[in-house]
Amino acid sequence: MSEKIDVQGPDPERPATVVRSTNVQFQSSFVSRDKRGKVLGSEFRGCTVWFTGLSGAGKTTVSFALESYLASRGIYCYTLDGDNVRHGLNKDLGFSAQDRTENIRRIGEVARLFADAGLVCLSSFISPFRQDRAQARRIHEQSGLPFIEVYMDTPLEECEQRDVKGLYKKARQGLIKGFTGIDSAYEAPLEADVVLKTAEKSVEECVAQVVEHLRKRGILPYSVVKTVRELFIPQDQLAAAIEESATLKRVHLTTLDLQWVQVLSEGWASPLSGFMREKDYLQCLHHNINTRQGSVNQSVPIVLPISGEDRERIAGENAVLLVHDEKPIAILRDPEVYAHRQEERMCRQWGTACRSHPYVKMMFKAGDWLLGGELEVLERVRWDDGLDSFRRTPNELLSEFSRRGADAVFAFQLRNPIHNGHALLMAETKTRLIARGYKKPVLLLHPLGGWTKADDVPLHVRIEQHKAILREGVLDVDTTVLAIFPSPMMYAGPTEVQWHAKARVACGAQFYIVGRDPAGMANTETGVDLYHADHGREVLKMAPGLPQLEIVPFKVAAYNVQEKRMTFFDPARKDDFEFISGTKMRRLARDGQEPPDGFMAPEAWKVLKAFYQSSHASKS
């Protein structure tokens, strides 16, 4: 850990301000600026996005959508347009050639001030002349500020057809003179930074295109752009890595450890770039966040326990090789070994002193030391169990959602068979999103696929059951992506539900469904629930470092005996409802019985029944 205090030298003109190196966050409430007000120690430095195009080309629509996109991700923006400039700063200007040039010159200067202040300035004016736009660009470049010219390449016919303000009509009638595109020239950019074909693309696609450009230019901070950094070694460096591997001391991974390597390597725990160091571990246990890059939710430790012997054996090494069943998995760089302190971890992570909790028990048996360090993973983790095709990485899922044209992704985490109560939550969420104006909300149906306790339904059975649900049309195939979330289950209640939500941000989910008692279980000693049934939802709603995600909380669903289907429980008519517990469901299935009508899709029930009647199912 850094002992350094970041202290700026005294400056007679202003009192010292200080940025703590350990706590610098993007859009932090503790930022230092240089004399021109630019934010220092922040990832983002300000720029101007200059929209140009005909009246009706979509400048305002796209700039507002972009502003909304950026603002919701913590980027300060400000849009300059006719409304706030023509009637104010430039109200002394008319529409002569000279005044038009002066209009654009001033806007360029003001945009530069906003960019200099550390905002994204969105400028939304026809700005028809190349020379004027070139001047605006020059003004920025002289100040070292990025200037992005975005050409709204919308055909005149399209603009004229839209004619939102009725101006084209007036211009054609000769009521407006010197109207750009009609009787005044528009000089299309020859080398615009971004060209938006608004006639062919949706507003969201246009926004995505600008964001992608900002991302490629390195203008937007990591937290804003939706690709996830994977920890795999690039193909061209693989041979050298394998050669190096042979020279390294080895540390053996359990299968559980390997699941965590998979989680880390695919980017689910971004920005973690390896097993947690002690600073990450403390931050996670105490504050449920990680501040390596901005302030990002990270509620569960992702750590590699090792024994005291391993600790001594690797002391002084610059890198070690992680192996599983003698197979090389990853190089861990710059190892840091620190105390596991299991009792403290049990208490802070699970909020319980129950040592027979299944994950806690494993944790105590694992090593007394933790090995932190950056990971370079040799190849993608595969399990060869026939389910690897469902184990899609965040980047693969991002592509899939894009391919499907999703304008909203909502995620549903589960580790149990799907009944119609779950389906109700998912359908209801979709309805709400459509009512809010989304055109294609896509569901990420995302069962957890790592370690679970012995009496949970095994992954392969759950996947069969989920596939049956899709086959039977309970969920819409076209707008549902079924994939496996490779994380182990920790049964840590409100602490873990944050992890389940956060990991889904990595793969593009903006909405996360949370019901009752997520990630909870009963105390294995007392049989009493470890967590209050509402706390997972409430803690998640307040979770720090999850700004990109909207939590969609639900009341519990139960079997409505009157309506013979699952509906939201209404305490006022509680006699109409029957709660079908997991235990009851298991008993019915084992006995080869049928659940009440409308509880679960029949084909899906068959899958469960077959499992519980087989010898593999636990007898609990």
Contacts (CB under 8 A) with a second copy, residues 436-475: 436-438
Strand, coil or helix: what is 5?
coil
CB of 22 to a second copy, least distance (A): 4
Q: Rank residues 32 and 416 by Cβ distance to a second copy and give the closer one.
A: 32
Partnered with residue 48 across adjacent β-strands are 121, 147
Q: Rank residues 158 and 550 by Cβ distance to a second copy and give the closer one.
A: 550
Q: Rank residues 285 and 331 by Cβ distance to a second copy and give the closer one.
A: 285
3-state secondary structure 539-590: HHHCCCCCCCCEEEECCCEEEECCCCEEEECCHHHHHHEECCCHHHHHHHHH
Q: Is residue 78 a contact point for a second copy (CB under 8 A)? A: yes
Q: Rank residues 341 and 460 by Cβ distance to a second copy and give the closer one.
A: 341
Site residues for a second copy, 572-591, by CB under 8 A, read none
Q: Rank residues 294 and 447 by Cβ distance to a second copy and give the closer one.
A: 294
Q: Is residue 427 a contact point for a second copy (CB under 8 A)? A: no
The single residue among 14, 382, 403, 619 that binds a second copy, judged by CB under 8 A, is: 14
Partnered with residue 147 across adjacent β-strands are 48
Q: Please give the distance of CA 548 from its chain centroid, rounded to a whole number.
A: 6
Q: Rank residues 28 and 227 by Cβ distance to a second copy and give the closer one.
A: 28
Site residues for a second copy, 239-258, by CB under 8 A, read none
Partnered with residue 448 across adjacent β-strands are 485
Site string for a second copy, 92-121 (x = CB under 8 A): x---------x--xx--xx-xxx-xxxx--
Q: Rank residues 286 and 382 by Cβ distance to a second copy and give the closer one.
A: 286
CB of 454 to a second copy, least distance (A): 25
Q: Is 15 exposed, middle or buried (0-12, 13-18, 19+ CB in 10 A)?
A: exposed
Site residues for a second copy, 337-366, by CB under 8 A, read 339, 341, 343-344, 346-348, 350-353
Token readout for 192 is 């615009």
The DSSP code sequence of 284-329 is HHHHSEE-SSS-EE--S----EE-HHHHHHTTT-SEEEEEETTEEE
- C-alpha to C-alpha distances, 284 to 262, 272, 350, nearest whole angstrom: 20, 12, 12
Q: Is residue 407 a contact point for a second copy (CB under 8 A)? A: yes
The single residue among 335, 358, 421, 494 that binds a second copy, judged by CB under 8 A, is: 494
Q: Is residue 403 a contact point for a second copy (CB under 8 A)? A: no
Amino acid of residue 113? L
The single residue among 472, 534, 563, 570 that binds a second copy, judged by CB under 8 A, is: 534
Among 541, 587, 268, 567, smallest CA distance to 427 is for 567
The single residue among 47, 49, 57, 80 that binds a second copy, judged by CB under 8 A, is: 80
Pairing of strands 47-52, 147-152: parallel
Q: Is residue 333 a contact point for a second copy (CB under 8 A)? A: no
Query: Which range touches a second copy (CB under 8 A), out of 229-237, 240-248, 258-266, 546-554?
Result: 546-554
Please name the helix (run of DSSP H) or strand (run of DSSP E) that holds residue 40, with its range, or none. strand 39-40
Q: Rank residues 238 and 282 by Cβ distance to a second copy and give the closer one.
A: 282
Q: Please state, in angstroms and rounded to a whole number, the distance separating the CA atoms of residues 189 and 149.
A: 8
